[in-house]
Amino acid sequence: MNPSDLAAIAPELLLVVMGAVLVLADAFVPALRPRFGAVAGASAVAAAVLRWTGPLPGAVWSGALVVDPLARFVDSYILVAVVLVAIIAGPYLARTAASYGEFYGLLLFSAVGAMVLAKADSLLVIFIGLELLLSISLYVLNAFHRDSGVSLEAGWKYLVVGAFASALLLFGIALLYGATGTFSLAATARVVAERPLAGNPLILAGLALALAGFGFKLALVPFHAWAPDVYQGSPTPVTAFLSVVPKGAMLVTLARVVAALAPQALTPKWLPLLATIAIASQVLGNLVAIAQRDVKRMLAYSGIAHMGYALVGIVAFGFDGLVGVLVYLAAYTVMNIAAFAVVSAFSESEDEPHLITDLAGQGWRRPFLSFTLALAMFSLAGIPPTVGFVAKFLVFRAAVNQGLAWLAVVGVLASFVSVFFYVRVVYYLYMKPLPQRAPAYLEPWPVRVVAGVCALAIVGLGIFPSWLLNAAETAAKTLLR
């Protein structure tokens, strides 16, 4: 270890320290609890500033982590998500009388896990970032309303599925290590290039197990069954966080793993499998979402479908595909957080379902939040001029350029199906009359701020995508040198 190693991970260190400070402050100076959200948000901003002003030395810590522009891109969007979630969590926690400071501490720990995962260049670091840092904090956050049956149920289900998935991943890692004799992705790439290992049963079994572990965490079909319950039962700000941050970090890790192995003979065997998973996720996610009556469950199935679209960018692996995946992650983050921010303000009690029918007529009563929700729905459906359209266009174009036009066709058809249930939300907001005894929803200013920022991003990046595109291209260049 030398000082430059420490400098390279300064943002992560800052967040770990601030997370620990918040957890301790909750125990010793509870009077400061109302300020914790601001502290967590400020820490995330400071970490982002450190990342953008700090060095990008490439491989550090003996090759365990790679601090490159790709990592910087992913860090940026993780930290944006942390700031937005910290803002909407304030009024939510105050309202649900669960104003404990450890919420923000765990949020920061979880964000550090995602940031470590996105930089991992070693199977050991992938495992630690995924499980120890990212997921274990999230299990606690899911069950944060410990008096609420649904919240505990969500926490337990996420824990069992998450632990099961990481055990699969771990056994896969063990088998891969047995075949290659190294944990480092860079060294694995060299070993695979030198020796034809494609038919090695250890490699095949190891990759299959690791893929199943990734599939669980990304909620891809057939590993998706946990998602609706966990989305519905978790506190809404936590759902917003867990729907974007772990998935984004996992997808980038998957891209790093594929980049290490793909140029070799492994590719032709695995890409049809990934393509099948992508299509199954799109079709099943969109079809089952139609049947949902709860907004959060609907967004869970929509999330399954969206990870299917993003996976198309991995299947069409190459520069265009990776750019598509990165833009998709950024777009998915703003539109999902916009939707969940509005839902968190549109729900009275956590134990009750968040029915789509309860949105009836709210469009005229809560014009600003309803407009943001409608915009998020159009963006999730991929209708121009929103950022959701740009993202879908990029991944499908990458698929066509790689000679996988059929994959793009299926994706576009699945998107058509999805328009139905996204637009139904808009229909309820604006076309249905307000019921006699409409629930008195709150509209706290932090939620308005987040909704406004996300709405601006959805339209702004949809009309002027070049800024996001340039950032994604700079990031993608580092992986595919």
Partner 1 sequence: MTVPTTHFVIFAALLFAIGAAGVLVRRSGISILLGIELMLNAANLALVAFGRQHGQLDAQVFVFFVMAVAAAEVAVGLALLVAIFRKQRSIDVDRLNVMRW
- Interface with partner 1 (CB under 8 A): 124, 127-128, 131-132, 136, 139-140, 143, 146-147, 149-150, 152-157, 159-160, 163-164, 166-168, 170-171, 173-175, 177-178, 181-183, 228-229, 232-233, 291-294, 297
Q: Considering beta carbons, is residue 144 or 389 the nearer one to partner 1?
A: 144
Place of tokens 């909620």: 219
Distance CA 158, CA 140 (A): 10
Kindly list the distances between the CA atom of residue 113 and the CA atoms of 49, 123, 452, in Å, as whole numbers in the listed order. 18, 14, 28
Residues 90, 93, 96, 100, CA torsion sign: negative
Helices (H), 144-266: 149-180, 185-194, 201-218, 227-233, 236-261
SS (HEC) of 50-100: HHHHCCCCEEECCCCEEECHHHHHHHHHHHHHHHHHHHHHHHHHHHCCCCC
Minimum separation from the CB atom of position 36 to partner 1 (A): 21
Minimum separation from the CB atom of position 91 to partner 1 (A): 25
- CB hemisphere CA count around 471 (13 angstroms): 19
Q: Considering beta carbons, is residue 96 or 372 the nearer one to partner 1?
A: 96
Minimum separation from the CB atom of position 426 to partner 1 (A): 21
Minimum separation from the CB atom of position 123 to partner 1 (A): 8
Minimum separation from the CB atom of position 408 to partner 1 (A): 30
Q: Considering beta carbons, is residue 296 or 366 the nearer one to partner 1?
A: 296
Q: Considering beta carbons, is residue 164 or 441 the nearer one to partner 1?
A: 164
The tokens describing 335, both together, are 């539109």
Q: Tell me the residue type at 360.
A: A
Minimum separation from the CB atom of position 295 to partner 1 (A): 12
Minimum separation from the CB atom of position 395 to partner 1 (A): 29
Nearest to 227 by CA among 286, 341, 280, 303: 303
Minimum separation from the CB atom of position 338 to partner 1 (A): 24
Q: Considering beta carbons, is residue 147 or 348 the nearer one to partner 1?
A: 147
The tokens describing 91, both together, are 């009024």
What is the DSSP annotation of 8-36? HTHHHHHHHHHHHHHHHHHHH-GGGGGGH
Q: Considering beta carbons, is residue 55 or 149 the nearer one to partner 1?
A: 149
Q: Are 354 and 295 in contact (CB under 8 A)?
A: yes
Nearest to 326 by CA among 75, 52, 57: 75
Residues 7, 13, 17, 22, CA torsion sign: positive
Q: Considering beta carbons, is residue 144 or 340 the nearer one to partner 1?
A: 144
Q: Are 205 and 171 in contact (CB under 8 A)?
A: no
Tell me the longest C-alpha to C-alpha distance in the chain: 72
Q: Are 133 and 109 in contact (CB under 8 A)?
A: yes
Q: Considering beta carbons, is residue 166 or 370 the nearer one to partner 1?
A: 166
The alpha carbons of the chain give a radius of gyration, in whole angstroms, of 21
Q: Considering beta carbons, is residue 159 or 380 the nearer one to partner 1?
A: 159
Burial of 58 (0-12, 13-18, 19+ CB in 10 A): middle
Minimum separation from the CB atom of position 474 to partner 1 (A): 33
Q: Considering beta carbons, is residue 166 or 282 the nearer one to partner 1?
A: 166
Minimum separation from the CB atom of position 258 to partner 1 (A): 22
Minimum separation from the CB atom of position 291 to partner 1 (A): 7
Q: Considering beta carbons, is residue 161 or 245 the nearer one to partner 1?
A: 161
Kindly list the distances between the CA atom of residue 54 and the CA atoms of 51, 57, 67, in Å, as whole numbers in the listed order. 5, 9, 10
